Amino acid sequence: MDALSTILEATGLRCVVYSKFPLAAPWGLDIIKDENSQFWRLVSGSCTIGAPDGRIIELVEGDLVFVPHGSAHWIADKPTSLRIPSPQFVKARREGIPIFNSGGDVTTLIAGHFEFDYQSLHPFLKDLPSIIHIKQYKTENQLLLKQVTQLMLKELNNEGPGSSVMLKCLSEIMFINIIRAYIEQVLPAGGFLSALNDPRISKALKLIQESPQNNWTLESLASEIGMSRSVFFNQFKKMVHETPLSYLTNWRIRRAQKLLTTENCNISEIAASVGYQSEAAFNRIFKSKTGQTPAVYRRSKFF
């Protein structure tokens, strides 16, 4: 499994597609800060987004916007339109109350969000920008993203047997292609996205993530990917914002957190599976990272 796939599995990626909804001008929504990562895809019409970083982004048909950190932002037919808080809009829709249907030009959007296990938030997620705007469809991954969103629209327009599962799967594919398309569009020069795009550093991540039980050292990792010890250390730290061995420790603890809540194994077995032959050492490091012993952490998830 590649590095990004392992990361997304560990962070518990889950996707929710709200619906397709038409909005007649004038309209506007203030999106409150949320733990989830929102996305908007403009199907038809036009609209404007007030980005978390203060930018005003004009969307054209087909554009997709992703807000990775759930930051507050707004979306409207134009910047001067009156906006209402998003919970008020959701409440009105649930109660069947007509809203934003005054007869003006109609904008159609697909919206939804991605959820992650924030107790094991990964540097990959932390390192994403405040907003990602996919505005062109020229490369293979960008075209694939366009096709996936078109399939989502088809499912929303013609709900059939298994549509909810289909939408869930398509939205997971969409997330990965948002990241791929963004890397192609921006070519990040630093940060975790550049690490995923670097063949040797990505290989080191893959080795750590797939085999945390191995007795990895700086020297053994560098040897596996064909780099000198010092060059590997400096390049890894520059891109990942952690040293290789710090990343290894944090990955082991994230993996242990998942095993403690999903596997019926004793703690010594879990310790060994993530690279700790001494249960006492595992307990000590786990508590230093999470504030709880493994046993307390496990109990807290079930009671």
Q: Which of 275, 269, 271 is nearest to 245 (CA)?
A: 275
pLDDT at 120: 64
Instruction: Count Cβ atoms within 10 A of the Cβ of residue 195 and give its class: 0-12 exposed, 13-18 middle, 19 or more buried.
Output: buried
13-30 pLDDT, tens per residue? 888 888 788 899 999 999
**What are the mean pLDDT values of the chain's consecutive 10-residue runs (303 residues total)?**
84 84 93 92 94 94 93 96 93 89 90 81 85 86 87 87 89 90 79 90 95 96 97 95 96 93 91 95 95 92 67
pLDDT at 118: 62
CATH number of 3-186: 2.60.120.280
pLDDT at 303: 58
Best CATH choice for the domain 198-300 from the list 1.10.10.60, 1.10.3720.10, 3.30.70.360, 1.10.20.60: 1.10.10.60
Q: Which of 24, 17, 25, 6 is nearest to 41 (CA)?
A: 17
Locate 226 and state its tokens: 């064909």
Q: How far apart are CA 24 and CA 10, in angstroms?
A: 41
Q: Where are the domains of the chain?
A: 3-186, 198-300
Q: Are 46 and 28 in contact (CB under 8 A)?
A: no
Residues 6+ apart with CB under 8 A from 81: 25, 26, 27, 28
Name the amino acid, one letter, at 101.
N
